[in-house]
Structure 1
Amino acid sequence: MSNKEILLRLFRFLSPYRGKLIVSMIAMVFVALLTGAQTYMVKDLLDKIFIEKNAFYLYTLTIAVVVVFGVKGLFYYTYNVLLERVGLSVIMDFRNRVFRHIHLQPLSFFHDYPTGTLISRVIADVTLMQQAVSSSLVGILRDFLSIIVLLGVVFYLNWHLAIFCFAILPFAAYPIITFGRIFRRLSTTAQEETANVSNVLYETITGNRIVKAFNMEDQENKRFGEQLDTLFRVTVQDAKFRCLQHPLMEFIGGIALSLFIWFGGRLVINGSMTPGEFFALMTSLIVAYDPVKRIGKVNSAIQQGLAAATRIFAILDIKPEIADRSDAIALLPFQQAIEFRNVHFTYGDDTPALSEINLTVPAGQTVAIVGHSGGGKTTLTNLIPRFLDVSSGSIVIDGHDIRDVTMHSLRAQIAIVTQQTILFNETVRNNIAYGNPDASDEEVHNAAEAAHALSFINELPSGFATIIGEGGTRLSGGQRQRISIARALLKNAPILILDEATSALDTESEREVQGALENLMKDRTTFVIAHRLSTIRNAHRIIVIKNGRIVEDGTHDSLLAQHGEYEALYTMQFN
């Protein structure tokens, strides 16, 4: 993506703030004009006061200096505040846009983009954009206008010297452009390495129990250190070029100034220019050269921001593979049946996961799904709420293909309890009411009681107001699972998916959770994935999946009588 394309896309994000931008640009023009007026005053200061000794100019110029500096300060404050506000607003919009876009993606997206990488995009990359948009671009616009006005003053005073100045500009621009390309390349590499650092950091912090259990602290320290060392080498290289840019620009400026003094001095000696004009010209050039240097200095930040914008746009340009159709309708409350019609599913790498799945589940039926690991059990249930989309075939609820209904209305009728309980660093109450934030305290209380969670909640320091820590770390595994069940109960969805909800629990915790699950499953259409076959004996129906196909279908007793795959699984487990 070229710089022009990136800037055009960035300017589209600026359109809601067009009014503030216009006011700030007007203020910026006045600042540039007043800067030119300041340098022009040097001519009258020398010629009228110090050479002609004109008392009238002494008083008027003194007052004019105060007025010019005061008004310039007012305009300077105005445009800076407005542009900073616009820049920060755009960055906030970007963070919201990226965050929302990530949540539109299917589960497969998160396989390709690790958590640390996404965090780096939203935090680090957008921060670099913030520096470029709200600080560097502000400075460049201001400095560019100042250069134009100051060169205009030079042209007005002596057009010969003005042409000389314009001839010098390409030599000052060349290192800015050259270093810009280098900064862009190094910034892209540095941001990629920063994302890798975030990934390692996230993995080791979230997996700290395993790191400690296997005595891998030294190995993880070494891995993190190596990643930091890679990032360090890139940033040092970037720093070397940034440090080289300033003295190079100073040297070019010194050559230009010496040539100007030589040409200008000859004109003063020949009488073609007054000393006041010469010093006004030299002041304008010195003042103009300062923003030229600043442009070179902020060039690194701008290139970092553009590289960050490229990475952010790369995320925003990923179209969700699963989205509502333009004519999607809302799914009415579930009443009849869920049908899998010749369903096939293949992952992106052409790995077949499900083949020829034909299954009809009437409302109110409990279907247990069993089979060896990797057989396709979880994939099958992920298709129902459209976490994944079928490769061919269809899933139909009450006669509606789920691809023809809105995902919001579909998922509103599905509750999920998984083996890996996902809780938030919030209060017990807010975690239970996660899918129904407007629920009353009585409804939350009743859900907790039905989930067999009320007894331990009341023993917590602040009861329902207790903060449970990241991932619910202050609770035991069984307690976390019962909070998750209470959350599903409060949602009161007619379709329920239980993905190995008790497999990670000890016997005592499983007994408590099993009782809560029985309350949850009442009068609901339930899909139960279970490795412990003892927990599904009372299911209305059990299907056995092997290599992505349904190979057996029946009740517990009828499947044992077939002496097939289910019996082999059952015998293996209980022997």
Structure 2
Amino acid sequence: MRGMHSSGLSAHPNQEQRTENARVNLRQSMAYLLPYLWEFKGRVLLAILALLAAKGATLVMPWALKHIIDGVDASLAAPLVFPAFFVLFYGALRFGSVFFGEVRDALFSRVTEHAMRKIGLRVFNHLHSLELAFHLDRATGGISRDIERGTNGISFLMRFLMFNIVPTLFEILMVAIIFAAAFSIWYALITVVAVAVYIIFTIFTTEWRNKFVREANQADSTTSTRAIDSLLNYETVKYFNNEKYEAETYDRFLANWETAKLKNRMSLLALNSGQALIIALAITAMMWMAAQSVLNKEMTLGDLAMINAYMIQLFIPLNFLGFVYREIRRSLTDLENMLALLKRDASIQNAGDAQPLVIARGDIHWRDVGFGYHPERPIVQQFNLHIPAGSKVAIVGSSGAGKSTLARLLYRFYDIQSGSIEIDGQDIRRVTLDSLRRAIAIVPQDTVLFNTSIRANIAYGNPQASDEQITRAIKMAHLEHFISSLPQGDQTLVGERGLKVSGGEKQRIAIARVLLKGAPILIFDEATSALDSQSESAILEAMREVATGHTTLVIAHRLSTIVDADQIVVMDKGCVIEQGTHSQLLELHGRYAQMWALQQQDEK
């Protein structure tokens, strides 16, 4: 087996170290869920009434059963009509307990599903509001599992906490009162003591095994993340013949998951066995006492049957109470990651007094801008650049010079650490993010497409666009010939991440999408660097047509693509070292001239 880096089995990226303050408890969870419940307070109240009716029928059933048995006991000489009434009454009670329970579930299901929808949407919107750095650092597969388990946990809490724990405790109290009033205080005492021991045992044992639940969840998330990451990089795996390596790595994650699951199952065995022992001892003691009372003529057979029926009825919800408590603890554990996402504030937010960006001309200024992804490693230093409205400015430089970072800063994916970036004199940190990003459109180096049709991907630039506008964008991006060659035309699916479409076609789709957005400021981020010469020529022509009348920033690797720029800026280590037109820079015989000579030589 190949040697593996220790980092290959690192902790799930989404499993941040939790402080005690970050842990969620039952009170916090209910405070979070109550507003969603209160939206349908009428349904909730009706569900509670149905619950009370179902519990009432359940509590009366053993009493009716006692009278049926006593009614057919010849030694008590009961009239025939008496047990007949209770037989019918018992049947009605049994139907009522099930019917009202179903009514309760039907009424409350809408509340639960609506709450899951609202919470799921809230988490989804919040994730989109977080900064780019968050999404680059986090693992999508793990986040997906966190959200899935979190929403399922919310559903469980809303459904079972309200309609199982509280009603079960109420039922236990009522049975104890019935035992004390009808028979002896000892029956009530055994019931209360058994329930108290059961609850204490369940709480302590569940707290002990909660660490195994956490380990199993973390192993599940890391395994899922690894599988998704490997499948998303399918081509890379094939390029390096690393199928065996991927399988070995994945198997190690699965082995961790298997071990964690085994610990979880064994601890569950201890919990369930202890609970069953407590219940068995309580039932044995009560049935022993009841049997002795029947033999001593202190009780009837109906009384014995009623005690047995009540204990059976208690056994089922009491056993279920243990399951519910375990699931509540698991649900609270599952909620931690999801609520941690919601509690995380976006580092890029609108300023308190932010106003919509007003584009008068489209003038862009970088003034003494300083920025670094890490404080100890600055990327852009004292950067100054002016892009006049309607002009085309190109930025060139070696890899790592900070070219693409400028586009990210203009979009406000990151905030600068010093200086300012202004559009028509408005600092982009003082305008709303929505208006800023609506004013800018980009054709990236690697266009990522949704796994839908070509037309749907183009329409993504403006979901409200008419069919005529989409068709016009297709024509302007010179996509007509390509689309007409496809059997399904513009309804052809592009595949996951656009893998079924070539680089040049993807860039044309990106240009059509930009056209549809209709933004006054355009960015072309090395949009032709991955294309062959023929595709590059076609894309360049489309780019020139699109850029007409727009303020345009072109980040380029191939200098031949930007010779027509109004200004060319040469960057090195985050600073401007040369600036001018193509011909002016060649006359300087500086860095640009060297880069031009090297690229011309390579193309020969």
Q: TM-score, normalised by structure 1?
A: 0.94
Say which of 347, 351, 359 aligns to 1:321: 347
Q: Does the 8 Å contact 1:183/1:300 carry over to 2?
A: no
Q: Secondary structure at the match of 1:303?
A: helix
Say which of 345, 358, 361 aligns to 1:335: 361
In structure 1, the partner of 2:3 is none
Say which of 29, 34, 40 aligns to 1:17: 40
Q: Does the 8 Å contact 2:447/2:507 carry over to 1?
A: yes
Q: Which moved more, 1:503-512 or 1:553-562?
A: 553-562
Q: How far off its partner does 1:155 sit?
A: 3.3
Alpha-carbon separation, structure 2, partners of 1:350 and 1:39? 75
Q: Aligned letter for 2:98? A: G
Q: Does the 8 Å contact 2:68/2:87 carry over to 1?
A: no
Q: Which moved more, 1:343-352 or 1:361-370?
A: 343-352
Q: How far off its partner does 1:365 sit?
A: 1.2
In structure 1, the partner of 2:452 is 426
Q: Which moved more, 1:89-98 or 1:484-493?
A: 89-98
CA, structure 1 residues 314+349, in 2 after alignment: closer, same or farther (shift >3 Å)? farther
Q: Does the 8 Å contact 1:154/1:284 carry over to 2?
A: no
In structure 2, the partner of 1:567 is 593
Alpha-carbon separation, structure 2, partners of 1:349 and 1:275? 83
1:98-497 matched pairs, under 5 angstroms: 98-131=123-156, 133-134=158-159, 138-160=163-185, 161-269=187-295, 272-348=298-374, 350-497=376-523
Q: Aligned letter for 1:27? A: A
Per-residue CA deviations over 1:30-52 (Å, capped at 9, x if unaligned) read: 21111110012233233344242
Q: How far off its partner does 1:562 sit?
A: 2.6
Q: Does the 8 Å contact 1:6/1:310 carry over to 2?
A: no
Q: Secondary structure at the match of 2:345?
A: coil
Per-residue CA deviations over 1:122-164 (Å, capped at 9, x if unaligned) read: 3344335445544676444453443333333323323512123
In structure 2, the partner of 1:544 is 570
Quote the RMSD (CA, aligned, Å): 2.2
Alpha-carbon separation, structure 1, partners of 2:176 and 2:593? 90
In structure 2, the partner of 1:97 is 122
Alpha-carbon separation, structure 1, partners of 2:552 and 2:345? 32
Q: Aligned letter for 1:445? A: T
CA, structure 1 residues 166+490, in 2 after alignment: closer, same or farther (shift >3 Å)? same
Alpha-carbon separation, structure 2, partners of 1:258 and 1:67? 30
Q: Does the 8 Å contact 2:65/2:90 carry over to 1?
A: no
Q: Does the 8 Å contact 2:194/2:279 carry over to 1?
A: no
Alpha-carbon separation, structure 1, partners of 2:399 and 2:486? 37
Q: Which moved more, 1:421-430 or 1:560-569?
A: 560-569
CA, structure 1 residues 509+148, in 2 after alignment: closer, same or farther (shift >3 Å)? farther
Say which of 66, 73, 83 aligns to 2:108: 83
Q: Does the 8 Å contact 1:341/1:357 carry over to 2?
A: yes
Q: Secondary structure at the match of 2:40?
A: helix
Q: Aligned letter for 1:15? A: W
Q: Aligned letter for 1:573? A: Q
Q: Which moved more, 1:431-440 or 1:40-49?
A: 40-49
Q: Does the 8 Å contact 2:393/2:553 carry over to 1?
A: yes
Q: How many equivalent residue pairs?
A: 575
Q: How far off its partner does 1:475 sit?
A: 1.7
Per-residue CA deviations over 1:171-200 (Å, capped at 9, x if unaligned) read: 111231123224432232222222212221
Alpha-carbon separation, structure 2, partners of 1:140 and 1:567? 78
Structure 2: gaps of 5 or more residues: 1-22
Q: Secondary structure at the match of 2:379?
A: strand
In structure 2, the partner of 1:502 is 528
Alpha-carbon separation, structure 2, partners of 1:283 and 1:73? 17
Q: Does the 8 Å contact 1:502/1:513 carry over to 2?
A: yes
Alpha-carbon separation, structure 1, partners of 2:374 and 2:45? 48
Q: How far off its partner does 1:329 sit?
A: 1.6
Q: Aligned letter for 1:25? A: I
CA, structure 1 residues 217+125, in 2 after alignment: closer, same or farther (shift >3 Å)? farther
In structure 1, the partner of 2:59 is 36
In structure 2, the partner of 1:57 is 82
Q: How far off its partner does 1:321 sit?
A: 1.0
CA, structure 1 residues 7+99, in 2 after alignment: closer, same or farther (shift >3 Å)? same
Q: Secondary structure at the match of 2:394?
A: strand
Q: Secondary structure at the match of 2:340?
A: helix
Question: Identity over aligned residues, as a percent?
Answer: 32
Q: Does the 8 Å contact 2:67/2:83 carry over to 1?
A: no
Alpha-carbon separation, structure 1, partners of 2:530 and 2:181? 82
CA, structure 1 residues 66+275, in 2 after alignment: closer, same or farther (shift >3 Å)? closer
Q: Aligned letter for 1:106? A: E
* Residue 83 of structure 2 corresponds to residue 72 of structure 1: no
Q: How far off its partner does 1:303 sit?
A: 2.3
Q: Does the 8 Å contact 1:130/1:305 carry over to 2?
A: no
Alpha-carbon separation, structure 2, partners of 1:556 and 1:540? 9
Q: Does the 8 Å contact 2:194/2:282 carry over to 1?
A: yes
Q: Secondary structure at the match of 1:352?
A: coil
Q: Aligned letter for 2:488? A: S
Alpha-carbon separation, structure 2, partners of 1:334 and 1:429? 32
Q: Does the 8 Å contact 1:544/1:551 carry over to 2?
A: yes
Q: Secondary structure at the match of 1:238?
A: helix
* Residue 47 of structure 2 corresponds to residue 3 of structure 1: no
Alpha-carbon separation, structure 2, partners of 1:75 and 1:436? 50
Per-residue CA deviations over 1:402-446 (Å, capped at 9, x if unaligned) read: 122221111111110001112112222221111212322222222
Q: How far off its partner does 1:449 sit?
A: 1.6
Q: Secondary structure at the match of 1:384?
A: helix
Q: Does the 8 Å contact 2:68/2:84 carry over to 1?
A: no
Q: Aligned letter for 2:356? A: A
Q: Which moved more, 1:515-524 or 1:12-21?
A: 12-21
Q: Aligned letter for 1:34? A: A
Q: Does the 8 Å contact 1:83/1:138 carry over to 2?
A: no
Alpha-carbon separation, structure 1, partners of 2:377 and 2:368? 18
In structure 1, the partner of 2:9 is none
Q: Aligned letter for 2:384? A: N
Q: Aligned letter for 2:137? A: D
Q: Secondary structure at the match of 1:559?
A: helix
Alpha-carbon separation, structure 2, partners of 1:184 and 1:85? 31
Q: Does the 8 Å contact 1:343/1:354 carry over to 2?
A: yes
Q: Which moved more, 1:413-422 or 1:163-172?
A: 163-172
Alpha-carbon separation, structure 2, partners of 1:526 and 1:192? 46
